[in-house]
Amino acid sequence: MMFKTPAIRLSIVLVLLTANLLFLANMIGFVPDESKSALELRKSLSESLALQFSAAAEKGEFQTIQNTLRAVVERNRDIRSAAIRTHDGELLALAGEHLAHWKAPVDGKSTSTHVHVPVFRKNENWATVEIRFAPLWTNNLTSGFANSFVGLLVFISLGGFLCYFFVIKRTLRELDPTAVIPERVQKAFDVLQEGILILDQKEQIVMANLSFADLFGKSPAAMIGLKGSELGWLDCQSPKQVSQLPWFKVLQDGQEHKDASLNLRNSHGRKIKLAVNAAMVTDNAGKCRGTLVTFDDITQLEEKNFELSDTVEKLQMANEESQAKSQELEILANCDPLTLCLNRRSLALKFDALFTQAKAGETHLSCLMVDIDFFKSVNDRYGHATGDQVIKTVADVLKTCSRDTDIVGRYGGEEFCVVLPNLDLEKAAQVAERIRNAIEKISCAGVKITVSMGVSSLKQSTNKPDELINQADKALYAAKKSGRNRVITWGKDFNSVAKVDSDAEVQEAVSQSGKSAKIDTGQAQLQRRVLELEGLLEKRTLELEHYEMYDFKTGLPTRSLFEDRIGHEIARGKRKNYLVAILSMTVDTIKRVHETLGYRAAEQL
């Protein structure tokens, strides 16, 4: 609890700053190093003695060398002993208890206590001066600590802390911010449920009521002196975000700011949202002295708003889903499920509207009736699944070759009706021919597709949509009767086909007179028919053999063929040393599709 007082906190901060300055001064070199100075002094002394002894040795003054060595040892306290030794190990001079305590360096290098310097004579290494110094004070714990940088640092830290503490304590007593707000005002603010702050011009807190301090788990007195922008507001890290705080805006604009919001994580770790209002505090002269800020917790209100928004969003999604289902139901009600063309009922409704509009505006309107040739044989030979695929392929071509304004509907099983607004009979026939050519070029599941088409136009004296469809249907019948895979228009083409049929009937009546020739012709036709039946039988036999090995509906290998192929593949894998993988798949929704959309949809899936 003692370290929570502002005086101690500030004292510790100042001591740390002082220690950092001392460390910086030591790194730069402003703090002298006594051990380094002592080593330099010993080095220079040793080198001076070696030079002096070298000069004496050149002159042969060996007695002078001995006397000088004894005098240096007696007069210098740091030198314990010294000697001069030749390379042969002969001692030329000795001073102090050198032989008992001298230890030659192992690696040949001098140490702080054992120094050896070469002495030259006649430019040759003649001898070595051995000097044994006293240990440095750094090797002594008490003396080393007293004379080291660490000792200086500890002294400055302890002494500085005591000095800083007494000075700051006295200063804070004189500058106590709590004295700004009277105690009765503090108690009045503590009663309020809203959080209240009074900040000075530097946004330092001079008063915080109990409600605001509880958000941080502190007492109101502990909040005094803190800055309002340093209270841990969420999403308020950059200088630009800090400048947008309400009390900053009040200090800048001089106007009251309302309905701002700030996010905060309280002492329990829970994120809360506060509505903030800020106003200026002035003195008697009207000069700004700070700001008064109120904080209202709106977290629960925001949560309710979020729940309400979520509910509205869910309702909107449900509404959109309902609309989508309504559209889907409308499509199912108006469109054929296999081809997605208009069904007969929707086709009639839209056809009636276009017919009435064309009649009133005296514009062109044409109708195409389309029928797939030999469709029954496709179902009998390849199955209904292939037949459905053929119908769907024809419908896709009709929709591709028509305009957006045209109407394409499925009129019956394999019959389609196409309504072409603003097109006369000739242009409608061209469209029909283009559709016929496009379908003729397509092969669906190995089946060659052709269509017969009948075309009629509003200009052919029709008064009802049914009459227009009937005319196109009659033209379609004429196209099928005249050989299929062709387009017949109601009018000139239809009359030509009808005349050909009439001429054929007359020809048949005349041909009754030549029975013998007809018998010969009949025999030839019979022979051709026999050949056709034999070819058909052979084709059916090949088809039966094919469907014994391949599935009728999907065209995939049957189970027996599949197992046979797998056996061959496994044997080949054993010979060539590779693995064979088998994937088994089940369509889980097939039953539901069959029950909801019908047999054809399930078969198509």
- Which residue type does 406 have? D
Half-sphere exposure of 342 (CA within 13 A, CB side): 15
Cα–Cα distance for residue pair 47/53, rounded to 1 Å? 10
User: How many Cβ atoms are within 10 Å of 233's Cβ, its own excluded?
Assistant: 18
Cα–Cα distance for residue pair 162/158, rounded to 1 Å? 6
Contact 338, 416 (CB under 8 A): no
Strand duo 91-95 + 79-86: pairing: antiparallel
Cα–Cα distance for residue pair 454/432, rounded to 1 Å? 8
Q: Tokens for 364?
A: 């062109």
3-state secondary structure 345-380: HHHHHHHHHHHHHHHHHCCCEEEEEEEECCHHHHHH
Contact 79, 126 (CB under 8 A): no
- Which residue type does 190 have? D
- The secondary element (H helix, E strand) that includes residue 199 is strand 195-199
Strands in 109-181 per DSSP E: 114-121, 124-133
Half-sphere exposure of 159 (CA within 13 A, CB side): 6
User: How many Cβ atoms are within 10 Å of 192's Cβ, its own excluded?
Assistant: 13
Q: Tokens for 366?
A: 């044409």
- Which residue type does 589 have? T
- Which residue type does 349 have? L
- The secondary element (H helix, E strand) that includes residue 487 is strand 487-489
Radius of gyration of the chain (CA): 57
Burial 157-178 (b: 16+ CB within 10 A, else e): beebbeebbeebeeeeeeeeee
Is-catalytic flag, 174? no
Cα–Cα distance for residue pair 445/386, rounded to 1 Å? 7
DSSP for 560-581, written as a single string: HHHHHHHHHHHHHHHHHT----
User: How many Cβ atoms are within 10 Å of 121's Cβ, its own excluded?
Assistant: 15
User: How many Cβ atoms are within 10 Å of 484's Cβ, its own excluded?
Assistant: 14
Where do runs of H (alpha helix) occur along 210-288?
210-215, 220-223, 239-243, 246-253
- State phi, psi for 130 to the nearest 5 degrees: -110, 120
Question: Which one from 130, 203, 414, 415 is the annotated catalytic residue?
Answer: 414
Which residues are the active-site residues?
414
